[in-house]
Amino acid sequence: MKGKTIVVIGGLSGIGRAVAERAAREGARVIAAGRRAAPADWSPQIEIAKLDVRDEGAVEKLFTSLGAIDHLVTTAGPVIGATPLAGLDLDALKQAFDIKLFGQIRAVKHAARVIAKDGSIVLTSGLLSRKATPGTLVKATMNAAIESMTRTLAKELAPVRVNAVCPGMIETEMWGPMSDEERKAMAAKVGTGIPVGRVGQSDEVADAYMLLMRNGFMNGTTVDVDGGGLL
């Protein structure tokens, strides 16, 4: 990664932050883009760009200002609870799609103009794309669309590689504000339903993004990092 320029959308928290920090430690120039404010312990090595992926003009401006880049990682996504079809708010569905699905499309559309021919794009889906679960229609359709988009863009944008990471249950800020005890109890409860017996950590998922950026022969692939949660 040394000397590479990497944009991480959603890079100010959770999995995105883990990817940004890992790439920076390996010598890359990293731009973390998102709506959040930088945490107090933010690394001065990582540049910050304020960005709302719902604003296509802002997305275009970001990539125009950066010029050439080597890799794009997108991890931004909304917090969505389980809702049965009968109670589904279609406006909320549209808002979720606007951030995670259309947000990734906007990012790829404008990054494709400036990304190196030997570079890569890594998108983010989620295990509900292939794990049928009542009440999760929004996440299921959104994440399945992202995985399908990954395969299509891998051919359309070649030789630029396009892959995706499909995280399972990962302990991040998206769990919401909790005490340490509440977080441990939540992790233990969720972990009982996963074959490895625990939830994942952001650093473990970051490994997959780094692999997909490095490996020049991986293209159109979705890598599952879920502790066996899809089984």
Q: What is the pLDDT of residue 37?
A: 87
CA separation, residue 194 to residues 39, 46, 92, 225, 227 (Å): 31, 34, 29, 12, 6
Q: Angle at Cα 89 formed by Cα 83 and Cα 90, nearest 5°? A: 120
What is the band of 189 on the pLDDT scale with cuts at 50, 70, 90? confident
Amino acid letter at 41? D
User: Which CATH superfamily groups domain 5-225?
Assistant: NAD(P)-binding Rossmann-like Domain (3.40.50.720)
In this predicted structure, the answer to whether residue 177 has a pLDDT above a threshold of 70 is no
Q: What is the mean pLDDT of residues 31-60?
A: 95
d(CA 112, CA 94): 25
48-62, 77-91, 129-143, 174-188, range with greatest mean pLDDT: 48-62
What is the band of 28 on the pLDDT scale with cuts at 50, 70, 90? very high
What is the band of 180 on the pLDDT scale with cuts at 50, 70, 90? confident
Per-residue pLDDT tens digits for 71-127: 999 998 887 778 888 888 888 889 999 999 999 999 999 999 999 999 999 999 999
Does 134 sit behind a cis peptide bond, omega within 30 degrees of 0 on the bond before it?
no
